[in-house]
Structure 1
Amino acid sequence: MRLDKFLKVSRVIKRRTLAKEVCDTGNVMVNGRAAKAGLEVKPGDRVELNFGTRKLIFEILEIKETMPAKEAASLYKIIAQ
């Protein structure tokens, strides 16, 4: 699954267009490397997201095409905020 779509489905970022912008400005790293929106992510990948003054580090646990909002947080595990 594309990184920008995962960020949207998991509700880490609410809109896919915003997720794409954040990725393309270099504020997202996957497994220690700068990541663009089209990067294919998989379970086990570690994502660092710098969003303004906030930094979020999480590990992807599973990938699903769609997910109810209440269950979206089960797709990843937060390592640090």
Structure 2
Amino acid sequence: MRLDKFLKVSRIIKRRSVAKEIADKDRIQINGKPAKSSTQVKVGDELEIRFGNKTMIAKVEDLRDTTKKDEASELYSILEEKYNN
């Protein structure tokens, strides 16, 4: 599954266009390597996402094409959240 679609389906980022923009600005890494919006995501991958002053590290637990709002959090687990000053 594409990175931008995973971020939208998992509701880590609400819109696919925003996910694409963030990924294409080198603010997302998969397993320590820079990732573009078209990068394929697999179960077990670690995503490091930099939002403004916050960095989130999450592990991909499951891949689905669609989810309901209450199921979205099952697709990933948050390993770490850091606030940058």
Indicate the TM-score class for this superposition, using the shorter chain for normalisation: over 0.9
Q: Does residue 5 of the first structure (1) align with residue 8 of the second (2)?
A: no
Q: Does residue 35 of the first structure (1) align with residue 35 of the second (2)?
A: yes
Q: 2: distance between equivalents of 1:69 and 1:25?
A: 27
How far has the Cα of 1:37 moved from its partner?
A: 0.1
Q: Is there any run of 5+ residues in structure 1 with no aligned partner, and where?
A: none
Identity %: 46
1:1-81 alignment runs, 5 A limit: 1-81=1-81
Equivalent residue of 1:4, what SS?
A: helix
Amino acid at match of 1:31: N
Q: Is there any run of 5+ residues in structure 2 with no aligned partner, and where?
A: none
Q: Residues 15-72 of structure 1, C-alpha deviation per residue, up to 9 Å, x if partnerless?
A: 0000000000000000000000000101000000001001100000010000001110
